[in-house]
Amino acid sequence: MASEFILEMNHITKLYGSNAVLKDVSLKIRPGEIHALLGENGAGKSTLMNVLFGMPVIHSTGGFEGEVIFDGQKIAIASPMDAMEKGIGMVHQEFMLIPGFSVTDNIKLNREITKAWPVSKLLGKDLEFLDTKTMAKDARKALDDVGMSIEEYTLVSGLPVGHMQFIEIAREIDKSGMKLLVFDEPTAVLTESEAQQLLDVMKSIAAKGIAIIFITHRLDEVMNAADSVTILRDGQLVSSFPKAETSPEKLAALMIGRGSESVIQVEKRKEAVEGGVAMSIRDLWVNMPGEVDKGISLDVREGEILGIGGLAGQGKIGIPNGVMGLYEAIGEVELFGQKLPLGDAGAALRAGLAMVSEDRRGVGLLLDQSIENNIAFTAMQVKGSFMKKLLWQKDARAIRRYAEEMIKELDIRCTSPAQPVGTLSGGNQQKVCVARALALDPKFLFVSEPTRGIDIGAKQLVLETLVRLNREKGMTIVMVSSELQELRSICDRIAIVAEGKVVDILKVDASDTAFGLAMSGVKSKEGEGA
Amino acid sequence: MRNTNQVKSHLEKYIVTYLFIALSVLFIIASGLDINYVASQLLLRLNRNAFIVLALIIPIIAGMGINFAITIGAMAAQIGLLLTINWGVSGVPGILLAAAITLPLGAFFGFLIGKLLNKMKGQETIGSLILGYFANGAYQLLFLFIFGSIIPLNSNVTIVGASGVQNTLNLTGSVGLYTAVDGIAHISLLLAVYIFCGALALAAVIQFVRKKITQKRLLACIALAVVIAGVFCIPAVADVVNGSHGRELKLPLVTWLLILLLCLFNATIMRTRLGQKFRAVGQSQTVANASGINVDRTRVIAIMISTVVAGWGQIVFMQSEGIGTFQTYAAHEQVGLYAGAAILVGGASIDRATNLQALVGTFLFHSLFITAQSAASAMFGNSAVGEYFRAFLSYGVIAVALIMYAWRSAKQKKAGQMNLAEQRAAKS
């Protein structure tokens, strides 16, 4: 039975424990159409694709509800291999290529064309010889189809990054019976002209009748290439419509959406902060894997809470890590008029900076150590606090006193200051991280993803603490967060980072459209500009 | 610019090999040994060891590093030899029986080793080394207690008045396993070289006619054949080989055919689907897995092949000329170490290896081994120094190879990410 849609995913619901990450989501794709799938991080795009590919993570967490109809038949996809055999392919965001193999070998990986000989007839197909000639011919054809003129026998290791994306695509279209291809952020690493070429290739693949799911955050590419659009937000289907009925502004607004109420109610400042510049960042490049920055320029005003937002992997987390010297960075950073050396965490701490890291368990805490030692550790090392004058002994009593004060003030739920932090809940661990940063008595505080993975009560407390520190002690705070709603509730201004650059700096009450556009790299009229 | 870079990277890759060539020449001169003697000893050791060293290649290509657990393959072979001696099977049938026993034993041990190494990915080299030591304990239990008391053995192989296998097992005399393979037929080295050169040239011509290779390659092959043959025509060289004063150098024909067969096997398997899997898994387990290759299974197969082949290599070693007896409880101990060192000397590394590297490495490593003692006594007046030097050499080579590997992969990782300053320059 021929059906109108090549793929129908109907009423998909997926729970992780009691937490629903997909709620009654439906997706319908026609043969030969390019269907853009949009949404913020955590909107459920990846989970939906994991369901489609039958990833082990879905099966091992209790499967999903809903039905998948592919090519007119209701199917259950057991594994990614199964999906591939049924004709569903994926062009990965990270390259799944073997550098030491030739282009042909990569395109034909584990689908080699082979010739039998007596030994292989006896001992199995694994011992059949590779038919390199036919393989090369097939690879050549696939490369021509994606418009690549490179020789099929060159090694992948020497090729520019842009070419690798096309080889990935060539590999997928070389597979026979391919009916649906998923492109996951395919243009992220490409130059502008390569991106254009890729969109053209997508269109020519679609013209052959292969349907394409196009995951991206670049709205201009959606407008350029897609036939229809589906938008997810917080695991729910927001909207699904043909492209002709929309505009980038509308897409941006739908992606962001007025979420739930503010996380906490904070009395807004009457007037904007007009202090001097606390930190000036000029052309900062940070080499943090997955969060690369390519020329950040930003001024932080004294006494404000500046939010830094943006989608995951766009480089917002790279900023605090680069300035604090945790990852390789170049550029100019001045703190209160003093030049800050980069790549030296000790110097950054001594200059009066402190940071609550997004990697709580990795960078933030010594998990086997007690709460009090964790709180005092950095201050002891950097400033020599909590030390006796005589023989450089640590002053256990002073540490205990300070720790108890902090436990009370931040409401750290624990049995005693001597409890190992590894046994605390995520929210309480985060509070210990904050306490540790405060023990340095910093003038300037970076907080990176402070509410990631902690419950709502702890979230409120952490955010309230930040506001109090800012209002009472006049501490300048830069908060990096993926949760726009959170930034909107406590910040004075919000800088949005996309593709390693500050796109725009927006007021907290700027429109959803402005935020949505900024996240996909487009500056709007409402912002003060970057 | 490009050329100097190429030379530099070539030197970086083969620094250990060149160092060994230099040392070998120095040692041969310093030892004052007769060149004919050195050559005949060297040939002997090549016969014995090449097979085992070649067993290391597949695991290296499959990304599992140097499989020091071939020691366990050697143990399997020794079980096979013990049973063969016990049952009194001699000659070629005896060797075939021992090899037949080694096959299932080695495959089973290899399977277990592979399973275990899959649990310690990234540390296979060290893991297999420790595994070899561990297995030694089990081996002793088997040979000292289980054989003789639980599995009955003839009195000619057990310790007199107690259970357990004798400390030394004899392959000579009525046992009839000594040189059972080596002794079948001999061919003079000179003839072997001429045949090899002729075959090389012929193969090149055939491949050229079938348009498999370029003209440049054809000429290079023919030139190589002519040069090699030419070198052996030089009277000084020919004298050494003929044994005008000394022994004539001869190759045990069947042993060398077996070695060539193994080289062919290693090369052939790489052209099959399985070989492609080995290479893919060796280069990137993530990518291999994403393309649906069963990574763990592929790795287990690599180790199984290696273990069985190493076992057969140990049989070749045991029967070879000049051995005759083996230390029941110690003969396998250094197998992994020496073979690992040899292949590294040949220019292989933790992640790449070829037949040629294995053969060249065996040649160089043993040329130092033969001359170390005499060279040491000539230079320091103390032959014991040479003994220390051997141990230093084998462990040293492995340590250097491991460090070079770590250093190179760190460098590669760095080269992969473009320098920040370069990126910035590229943008503006």
A34-45 per-position pLDDT tens digit: 999 998 877 888
List of chain A residues whose C-beta atoms are within 8 Å of the C-beta of residue B305? none
Host H or E run for residue B296: helix B295-319
pLDDT (mean) for B373-391: 81
Q: Check B279 against A100: CB less than 8 A apart.
A: yes
A1-87+177-257 placed in CATH 3.10.580.20: no
Q: Looking at CA atoms only, how far is residue B418 from chain A in angstroms?
A: 9
Shortest CA distance from B61: residue in chain A: A100
Q: Which of A409, A168, A444, A436 is nearest to A324 (CA)?
A: A444
Q: What is the mean pLDDT of each run of 10 residues along chain A (530 residues)?
A: 81 86 91 91 86 88 90 88 88 83 92 90 88 93 89 86 88 89 86 88 91 90 92 88 87 75 68 82 90 91 92 90 91 92 90 90 87 90 81 85 91 90 88 92 92 82 90 92 88 92 90 88 74
List of chain A residues whose C-beta atoms are within 8 Å of the C-beta of residue B421? 330
Q: Looking at CA atoms only, how far is residue B274 from chain A in angstroms?
A: 5
Q: What is the DSSP string of A37-97?
A: EE--TTSSHHHHHHHHHT-HHHHTTT--EEEEEETTEEE---SHHHHHHHTEEEE-SS---
Distances (CA, A) of A520 to A434, A499, B33: 32, 9, 77
Residue B62 in contact with partner chain A when CB distance is under 8 A: no
Residues A376-388 have pLDDT tens digits of 988 888 888 888 8
Domain A277-519 in the same topology as domain A1-87+177-257? yes
A277-519 placed in CATH 3.40.50.300: yes
Residues A226-248 have pLDDT tens digits of 999 999 988 888 888 898 888 88
Based on DSSP, count helices (H) and strands (E) in chain A, helices before strands. 18, 22
Q: Which of B280, B420, B424 sits opposite A109 (nearest CB)?
A: B280
Interface test with B, best of A85, A86, A91, A98 (most B CBs within 10 A): A98
3-state secondary structure of A171: helix
Q: Which of A438, A437, A419 is nearest to A369 (CA)?
A: A419
List of chain A residues whose C-beta atoms are within 8 Å of the C-beta of residue B269? 127
List of chain A residues whose C-beta atoms are within 8 Å of the C-beta of residue B272? 114, 120, 126-130
**Could you tell me which residues come within 8 angstroms of residue A52 by beta carbon, excluding any fewer than 6 positions away?**
A7, A9, A68, A77, A83, A88, A182
The gap from C-alpha A18 to its chain's centroid, in whole angstroms, comes to 23
One-letter amino acid of A81: M
Q: What is the DSSP string of B69-106?
A: THHHHHHHHHHHHHHHHHHT--HHHHHHHHHHHHHHHH
Helix ranges, A232-308 (H): 248-256
What's this model's pTM, rounded to 2 decimal places?
0.82
Distances (CA, A) of A51 to A21, A65, A238: 12, 10, 19
Dihedral class, residue B74 (left if φ above 0, else alpha if ψ from -120 to 50, else beta): alpha
Residues B238-270 have pLDDT tens digits of 888 887 777 788 899 999 999 999 999 999 999
Helix ranges, A280-344 (H): 318-323
User: What ipTM score was computed for the predicted complex, to two decimals?
Assistant: 0.84
Residue B165 in contact with partner chain A when CB distance is under 8 A: no
How long, in residues, is chain A?
A: 530
Based on DSSP, count helices (H) and strands (E) in chain B, helices before strands. 17, 4
**Of all residues in chain B, what percent are helix, strand and coil, respectively (each to 5)?**
75, 5, 20
